[in-house]
């Protein structure tokens, strides 16, 4: 997946991931793709907001309000992708008003 994304988006400079992607994923991204993979680290044992991660979590929460995205009814990946795009357009327009 990382290889396909890097090929599709040439302006991409880095990926972000959590601790589960340490090791071979970091090596693959740096050697094969010549990009960086930033791994988020725990700041303490208690709950803490990790930099940049809250943006992803907030976006997933917003998308959770769209019933069409609750189950995977789409046959083609492109159809599911477009449903997410439509939901994000609706969210963006609502934030502008």
Judgement on whether residues 33 and 12 belong to the same structural domain of the protein:
yes
59-81 pLDDT, tens per residue?
Answer: 888 888 887 776 767 788 888 88
Q: For residues 75 and 81, give the distance between their C-alpha atoms in angstroms, rounded to a whole number.
A: 11
Largest CA distance in the chain: 45
pTM: 0.50
Mean pLDDT of the chain: 84
Structural domain boundaries, residue 10: 1-45
Domain count, the chain: 2
List beta partners, residue 39: 17
- The radius of gyration of the chain's CA atoms, rounded to the nearest angstrom, is 16
Q: For residues 55 and 42, give the distance between their C-alpha atoms in angstroms, rounded to a whole number.
A: 17
* HSE, side-chain direction, 13 A CA sphere, residue 87: 18
Judgement on whether residues 32 and 72 belong to the same structural domain of the protein:
no
User: 22 or 86, which is more confident?
Assistant: 86
The mean per-residue pLDDT over the stretch 27-34 comes to 91
């Amino acid at each position: 997946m990382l290889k396909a994304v890097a090929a599709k988006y040439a302006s991409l400079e880095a990926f972000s991931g959590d601790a589960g992607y340490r090791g071979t994923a970091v090596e693959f991204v740096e050697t094969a793709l010549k990009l960086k993979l930033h791994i988020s680290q725990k700041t303490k044992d208690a709950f803490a907001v990790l930099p940049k991660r809250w943006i992803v979590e907030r976006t997933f929460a917003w998308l959770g309000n769209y019933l069409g995205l609750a189950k995977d009814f789409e046959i083609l990946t492109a159809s599911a992708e477009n449903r997410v795009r439509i939901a994000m357009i609706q969210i963006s327009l609502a934030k502008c008003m």
